[in-house]
Amino acid sequence: MDSDFREKPADGGALRGKVVLISGGASGIGRATALLFAREGASVGIADTNRASGRAVAAEINASGGLAIFEPCDAARADDCKRAVDRTVREFSGLHVLFNNAGIIRRGSVVELAEEDWTRVMDVNLKSMFLLSRFAIPAMMKSGGGSIIHMGSGWGLAGGPRAAVYCASKGAVVQLTRAMAIDHGPQNIRVNCLCPGDTDTPLLQGEARQLGESRVHFFANAAKRPLGRIGTPEEIARAALYLAQDASSFVTGTMLVIDGGGLA
């Protein structure tokens, strides 16, 4: 579905006039969301540690008639987060949507994990949301409000084997979403959380390698859910689009599960 953006150039759709910042926007769900949001008329800031891929996504959007910039960013570092927000606001004159999508996974029990693994996962998966939101909210207030979308997980709502720190980080994201929705609703800022099931991304492929399983075997097990398959990045991106646009104007503090029935 990568060609979808090229086949349907930006025509001023559901996000016309909106400015969006996406962390982890260089690959997987972040990339799919950047392409979709641009097609729907948004100006897109892409923040990621992967410079080559991030620049490539921005170039693809710009070459197809959209507007995008790339800013190198380790979302666990305050200076990087501030720079990404500031540049997006400066380039596009405002900020309306923040998609806190950056994330990593380290598989293991608390006995198996190194302290460094625990710290890094919590920093990227949780602290990054605090940092980017901290800098983005004042800009959103100046723009009249906005939508913050946190990337959660089905494992933020239910536990999983050998995934202690990942489950802990995503469970915290769920509660952060609720608390922020309460705090910032009066400023017309909605805060919601996506909770995907297994999705065909580099992150999922990395899990297979960490567990020493073949991609084919790992993905086959991941597909054991009512719909009989794993998700695609584009399917998660469409859920993010719903939370970003005015169609969800009365939705805040919620967890939107997109998992093919896995939690059912």
pLDDT at 1: 38
Question: What's the rounded Cα separation, in Å, for the pair 50 and 187?
Answer: 33
Question: What's the rounded Cα separation, in Å, for the pair 146 and 61?
Answer: 23
Question: What's the rounded Cα separation, in Å, for the pair 259 and 194?
Answer: 10
Place of tokens 């999705």: 199
User: 166, 195, 225, 237: which is the annotated catalytic residue?
Assistant: 166
Structure tokens at 58: 């921005």
pLDDT at 8: 47
Indicate left, alpha or beta for 255 from its phi (over 0: left) and psi (-120 to 50: alpha). beta
Active site (annotated) includes residue 166: yes
Q: In what order do the strands lie in the sheet with 189-196?
A: 67-72, 43-48, 19-23, 97-100, 146-151, 189-196, 255-258
C-alpha angle 262/238/219, rounded to 5°?
40
Question: What's the rounded Cα separation, in Å, for the pair 2 and 35?
Answer: 8
Question: What's the rounded Cα separation, in Å, for the pair 199 and 208?
Answer: 13
pLDDT at 10: 42
pTM of the full structure: 0.94
3-state class of 216 per DSSP? helix
pLDDT at 103: 97
For the chain, list residues with pLDDT below 50.
Answer: 1-11
3-state class of 149 per DSSP? strand
Q: How many CA atoms lie within 13 A of 100 on its CB side?
A: 35
Question: What's the rounded Cα separation, in Å, for the pair 207 and 150?
Answer: 21
pLDDT at 186: 98
**Contact (CB, 8 A) for 219 and 201:** no
**Contact (CB, 8 A) for 22 and 45:** yes
pLDDT at 102: 98
Q: 129-157 burial, b for 16+ CB within 10 Å, e for fewer?
A: bebbbebbbebbeebeebbbbbbbbbbbb
3-state class of 1 per DSSP? coil
Question: What's the rounded Cα separation, in Å, for the pair 252 and 50?
Answer: 31
Sequence-ordered list of residues with C-beta below 8 angstroms from that of 176, at least 6 positions apart, any chain: 126, 129, 130, 150
CATH class of 4-197+231-258: alpha beta
Other C-beta atoms closer than 10 Å to the C-beta of 106 total: 21
pLDDT at 208: 87
